[in-house]
Structure 1
């Protein structure tokens, strides 16, 4: 008897599943809006977001201007978010906010919309257009809803994205500096990139590294310059060293920086002979 039940249960489950699928297809192809609404909400609550999405997509235009329209449009946007289709989620949450700016769900929609763009942000080495857009959305949310329960998470995401942009700018400047070891004509671009980084991201966690690599770049420029340009460029290299020590007296780059300082001093002494 027990053996028979074990064989029957999977069969019964298959029958129930088949019936569920048949119901979904029937309602999906039907014209009854209320049936679609009820089934869409049922699937949403059960975590069947793809099926829920297709039903909400069909009925959303039917509920424009109606009391249930607000609820339908929010769920429709959220099914995209929960299905990890963040492009569509961001767009639909924006659409919801334009349609229902005073909704009780406005704060949550603004948060989830901003988070959708956050999820689209690629790794730091790729183009950061989506990161810029996410930062704009997050900053707008933070400014608009400073007392929101989502504020802490929004600040966390904004900080993470800002650090990602900092890392990209820092790595680009480092790359210029590395290439400059083989082609000294690139070194001025390295110095410019480092200066831009230090100006654009004054509180960056990469600031110490940027100050050090500026010593490297300016020192290499100086020692490979024509004699008439060396004095001024050696002063620039020495100033770069002083700047690092001023802000980071116990810098982790101290030994490397001191080696560069010796090179700067030796070149300076040779010039005075």
Structure 2
């Protein structure tokens, strides 16, 4: 009898537990059905087919609602990865993020596209967007220039891997601008040292400009500053060589006129020493 009572109690407990679970589920379902304020679209869940979401994204772009367009494209990417619609959505997601000024996000999305579809019809465009996103983040030469270096890296891929694309010309222009920025940063630091009469430190910066960034708009001043620094140190042969290289490559430059005047004041004139590193670097200037 005791055993029968025990089994009966266990059956009753089981029935009660099942009832509680069913009641709880019923409350949850009833609550969802009766609550008119729940909107799953506000939870970031887009449930339309990818083709329809893509069209909605394009419509939002046309209306100027880039943020909503970006959300539509991101929904396609999340729900349909590695599909053709997912691929197209990644392109548009990169573009809308770039246009929204979300440059880091655009780079992340673009890089993911390039890893998955490096040889697709849109890969040149996406790589170009990556470069543009870096380019937009280039700061004044008084600040960090990592974005300039990354612009050069990204745009060099456009030029090298997609030489026939329509983006090459602008990619090259962005590379030139970024190189000018990097050279400008070196000049800024070099002038800082020069003003404090730390001539060796200054020369090392100006040398980087002449040897590495010879085709930028900073090289004339760099050569003139080398004249100034070497002359101040009493290393007149290098000062004369820097002035000679400057005059050979930029005879009408005001920087050359100033350097010539400085040497003349000390009874010197520009004269090139072919064994100098400046002479070797100068031979490459007009060809860069």
TM tier relative to shorter chain = 0.7 to 0.9
Change (3 A) 1:259 1:32: closer
The alpha-carbon deviation at position 202 of structure 1 amounts to 2.3
Between the aligned partners of 2:100 and 2:62, the Cα distance in structure 1 is: 14
Partner of 1:261: 263
The answer on whether the counterparts of 2:76 and 2:85 sit within 8 Å (CA) in structure 1 is: no
CA contact (8 A) 1:120 1:130 kept: yes
TM-score of the superposed pair, with normalisation by structure 2: 0.70
Change (3 A) 1:258 1:134: closer
Matched, 1:235 2:231: no
- Secondary structure, aligned partner of 2:141: coil
Q: What is the TM-score with the length of structure 1 in the denominator?
A: 0.73
Residues 163-178 of structure 1 correspond to what in structure 2 (within 5 A)?
A: 163-178=180-195
Q: Tell me, which stretches of 5 or more residues in structure 2 are unaligned?
A: 1-38, 269-288
| Structure 1 residue 84 displacement after superposition | 1.4
Q: CA deviation at 1:204?
A: 2.7
Residue 143 of structure 1: how far off its partner (Å)? 0.4
**What does 1:1-273 correspond to in 2, within 5 Å?**
27-29=41-43, 32-34=47-49, 36-180=53-197, 186-222=198-234, 233-265=235-267
> Equivalents in 2 of 1:147, 1:61: separation in Å?
32
User: Structure 1 pair 61/217, CA: closer, same or farther in 2 (3 Å)?
Assistant: same
SS in 2 for 1:120: coil
Change over 3 Å in CA distance of 1:66–1:213 after alignment to 2: closer
Q: Give how far 1:253 is off.
A: 3.3
3-state DSSP class of the match of 2:222?
helix
**CA 1:171–1:74 in 2, change beyond 3 Å: closer, same or farther?**
same
Q: SS at the partner of 1:138?
A: helix
Structure 1: state its 5+ residue gaps. Answer: 1-24, 181-185, 223-232, 267-273
Compare the two structures and name the one with the higher helix fraction: 1
Stretch moving more, 162-171 or 242-251: 242-251
Alpha-carbon deviation of 1:124?
Answer: 2.0
Residue pair 1:219, 1:264 contacting (<8 A) in 2 also? no
